[in-house]
Chains A and B, each alone.
Chain A
Amino acid sequence: LAKTTQPISMDSYEGQEVNITCSHNNIATNDYITWYQQFPSQGPRFIIQGYKTKVTNEVASLFIPADRKSSTLSLPRVSLSDTAVYYCLVGDMDSSYKLIFGSGTRLLVRP
């Protein structure tokens, strides 16, 4: 299972774009990259998933370079409600895959 490394914490202000980078040097060919968001006292919530290049949905973008050894979650124009812990995970998309969570990145959005 590929291990990931992320910054422990980040600070931002409302309205700014936030980019959180994750390193996964040992990513395997079949691994996908998935990001989750967790608010206090809640289970993690799926944000976005990708394999290569760029993926965009209604809440975030995910940028993956050609070597796939890192990825960047981009949150456009954050608000106070984006204050949460963000986890980057990599794993095989086979139905039996299990994900190992790291410590995540604690994002604090200030007024």
Chain B
Amino acid sequence: NAGVTQTPKFQVLKTGQSMTLQCAQDMNHNSMYWYRQDPGMGLRLIYYSASEGTTDKGEVPNGYNVSRLNKREFSLRLESAAPSQTSVYFCASTALRGYTFGSGTRLTVV
């Protein structure tokens, strides 16, 4: 089925470790996004990529880096994980009629 695929679905990291969250979409969308959602809260935009080759900061970019590898893939990297980055991370892509979200990555930093 067409959509947004995120890997991994779950991850536990120790403080200071690094990891990359992967996201791929097969809908030929230009724009892709990374959000985080803390328990009981709305989604907060971390970074977005309006088109291949461009990336911009969102509301909460500190502690993260992104790479728009090609039109399909948009990765999120935590260079030195902190407990405050424990959250559910959602990737999304969009055409003109609304976002399509992935199923999320549940990240715990201990």
Q: Give A residues with C-beta under 8 Å from B.
A: 34, 36, 41-46, 49, 87, 93, 95-104
Contact = CB atoms under 8 A, between A and B. Distances in A.
B24 to A, nearest CB: 14
A56 to B, nearest CB: 15
A11 to B, nearest CB: 17
Contact of A103 (B4, B41, B95, B99): B41
A44 B103 CA distance: 9
Contacts of B45: 98-101
B53 interface: no
B52 to A, nearest CB: 12
Given A95-B95, A101-B42, 17 more contacts: A34-B98, A36-B98, A36-B99, A42-B104, A43-B4, A43-B90, A43-B92, A93-B96, A95-B30, A95-B50, A96-B50, A96-B51, A98-B33, A98-B48, A100-B45, A101-B43, A101-B45
A36 B101 CA distance: 11
Chain B: interface residue count, which band? 20 to 34
A34 B100 CA distance: 13
B75 interface: no
B44 A49 contact: no
A85 to B, nearest CB: 8
Nearest to B97: A49
11 contacts: A36-B98, A41-B88, A41-B104, A44-B90, A44-B101, A46-B97, A46-B99, A98-B48, A100-B59, A101-B35, A101-B43
Top 9 A-B residue pairs of the complex, sorted by shortest distance between their CB atoms? A43-B101, A96-B50, A46-B98, A101-B43, A101-B42, A103-B42, A43-B90, A98-B48, A95-B30
Interface string B85-97: 0001010101111
Given A98-B48, A100-B59, A103-B42, A44 B31 contact: no
Contacts of B98: 34, 36, 46, 49
Contact of B99 (A44, A95, A96): A44
